[in-house]
Amino acid sequence: VLDAIIGRFSKHPLAAMKPLTRMALRLGICQLLLFDRVPPSAAVNETVAAVKKMRQPQWLVSFTNGVLRAVARSGRQVLLDIIKDLPDHEAANMPAWLFERWLARYGRQATLALCRAADQPPPLTLRVNPLRSTPKALLAAMEQAGIEARPGHYAPQAVLLPSFQGPVSSLPGYGEGLFLVQDEAAQLVSLLVTPLRRAGRYLDGCAGLGGKTSHLAALLPEKAALVAVEPHAGRLQKLRENLERLGLGGRVEIVASELAGLSSRAGLFDAILIDAPCSGLGVIRRHPDSRWTRSPEDLRRYRATQLGLLSQAAALLAAGGVLVYATCSIEPEENDSVVAAFLEEHKNFNKTDCGTFLPAAARSLVDADGFLRTLPGRDELDGFFAARLQKT
């Protein structure tokens, strides 16, 4: 949409425009037409000043100034005119391939709702650390600090801060490890690993930054063991930092390797969580550029990785054990299709109904196949999928 507006007011072809100039014009137009609190004069002047600061030639400075002033004179009507004439997927700010597949699967109204959700910043959601606080106590601390807060919709430890925009580290209780930032849908995934039993052995096979690892660690019964596998050095460091801040470092054995490098000789696990690498098309609102960097080929590529991880996990799971598979994608190739292919190859696994292991409020999020399935933006949730499989 922004490029279409540039094209309407510029005699210089977009394809021949310097990337720096194009980006400056996009930012300026965005401020002019979408930011209510930025005066038009400030949007123009600041953008032109930025172009000067980048040491662009004078003719480009003048060009930027001229285009932005023309857009400012036209006001928001030009935005409405442009959107009216755009193809549906462009008006919805979504690549055609993704828009069309959602349209076929969900219908027009739901697809447009998904597109709108992708362009809205998500509310900040916290998961209370039950070893150090309670939702009631954290809500009271937020109220005392003048921060709008309310309980989550589905997850028992969730607290929503719908209007907070500052650094998370400035929130009451951050330094004391009273909470971790985590979407409610992700919190529900961890609950599918439960019930955790005394002296049980548990594995987070794709630990990442530690959101679900720390959740499981907080729920860990006496004498139970939790192993977290993470090969990436940067994520590994953040995982350790999060666990230490929450006071959970001593509850988790961290293994710096791929899941394939974990040997079953140390003993099999009673439950394994595979929060698999995926396209992330359920969390576009957190990573807005991902819609443009993903392609249908990526879905097939991720699917192969996901099936490989599930097969590796199956070999590490004890008889009667539980394997939870999750993605932050809403695409069937990474979700239903992966589970179906895995079950076809592993006849000694059965699906179990996710709803049995979730709070009553969250059971409406479980479909007829027993899968946990959330859509982005609906009830302020991210888009997630999870299946709970049991080894016979």
For residue 132, what are the CA distances in angstroms to 10, 179, 211?
58, 9, 16
Burial class (CB in 10 A: 0-12, 13-18, 19+), 320: exposed
Let me know: does 152 contact 125? Beta carbons within 8 Å: yes
Let me know: does 186 contact 383? Beta carbons within 8 Å: no
Any idea what the Cα angle at residue 271 is, between residues 227 and 324, rounded to 5°?
Answer: 105
Give the chain's end-to-end CA distance (angstroms, integer). Answer: 53
DSSP-assigned letter for residue 179: E
Residue 278 annotated among the catalytic residues of the structure: no
Q: Which of 115, 206, 328, 354 is catalytic?
A: 328
Let me know: does 316 contact 264? Beta carbons within 8 Å: yes
How far is residue 364's CA from residue 188's CA, in Å, rounded to a whole number?
12
Q: Which residues are catalytic?
A: 328
